[in-house]
Amino acid sequence: MTATGPEGAADKSTPPPAPAWDPVVRLTHWCVAFAVVLNGLIVEGESLIHIWIGYAAIACLLLRFFWGVIGTDEARFTSFPPSIAAAKTHLGDLLAGRHKTYRSHNPIGTWMVYALWGLLIVVSVTGLMMESEPFPPHADSAFQGFLSLFQEYERGHGHGVDKVVEEIHEVAADMVLFLAMIHVGGVFLEQRLSGTRLVRAIISGEKRARPTE
């Protein structure tokens, strides 16, 4: 999360080019965002298209996670470690009007990115569980044991394991949609306060600080 302040610029009217998001980050971002909007708001859960969109989203997420290990500098997980202290400092900077352009996600955005990814993993795993109904016959004994816990629950409460998994899937999907709204609001707020063209960066890859004066 190395930051470059505009004070480093020799000529303030032409700020130095800051690192840009690479094509893998941009492509996976927009595919996942598109999939979430389609599956969460437009397409029926029971439909085949929902499953295919879901698989596409999983493929994009896997690619992004792989890229987070071997990818470009700004895409790597090591470039945006979650830190409460760094998030507080960043908030202070924003409120004090100190402009900074980060090489990767800013320290507040970092928390949102991990929250979205965490929920998307829950949505994907539960989606796959529903999709592979009935559970694979070749499942090993440890998995069968785990499954029988749910079956106990079913006998005691009158709910199926499918029902629990489906509930988790839907609640996590709603939380993704809710956080995505805050995420977009946060992006525009950060863009305004920090002077960095974040939206342009995730579309065209170019991430420049706005001329300060």
Site residues for ligand HEM per CB under 6 A: 25, 28-29, 32-33, 35-37, 39-40, 44-46, 50-51, 54-55, 57-58, 64, 105-106, 109, 113, 116-117, 123-124, 127-128, 130-131, 166, 169-170, 173, 176, 180, 183-184, 187, 198-199, 201-202
62: its two tokens: 């896997």
Shortest gap between Cβ of 78 and ligand HEM (angstroms)? Answer: 13
Q: In terms of CB distance, is 6 or 127 closer to ligand HEM?
A: 127
> Shortest distance, CB of residue 125 to ligand HEM, whole angstroms?
9
- 110/107 Cα distance (integer angstroms): 5
CB 71 within 8 A of CB 22: yes
Euclidean distance between CA atoms 32 and 119, whole angstroms: 12
Nearer to ligand HEM, 10 or 44 (CB): 44
Q: To the nearest whole angstrom, how small is the minimum distance from the Cβ of residue 24 to ligand HEM?
A: 8
Minimum distance from residue 85 beta carbon to ligand HEM (Å):
18
User: Smallest distance, Å, CB 41 to ligand HEM?
Assistant: 8
Rounded to whole angstroms, the Cα distance separating 62 from 82 reads 20
N residues, the chain: 213
The smaller minimum CB distance to ligand HEM, of residues 13 and 174, is found at 174
State which residue, 123 or 141, has the beta carbon closest to ligand HEM: 123
Q: Which residues are CB-neighbours of 140 under 8 A, at least 6 positions away?
A: none
Closest to 73 (Cα-Cα) out of 115, 29, 21: 21
- When the beta carbons of 65 and 153 are compared against ligand HEM, the nearer one is 65
Return the closest-CA partner of residue 77 out of 110, 30, 32, 44.
Answer: 110
State in angstroms the smallest separation of the CB of 142 from ligand HEM. Answer: 23
Q: By C-beta, is 10 or 200 nearer to ligand HEM?
A: 200
CA max distance for the chain: 72
Judge contact between 206 and 194, C-beta under 8 A.
Answer: no
C-beta of residue 190 within 8 angstroms of C-beta of residue 198: yes
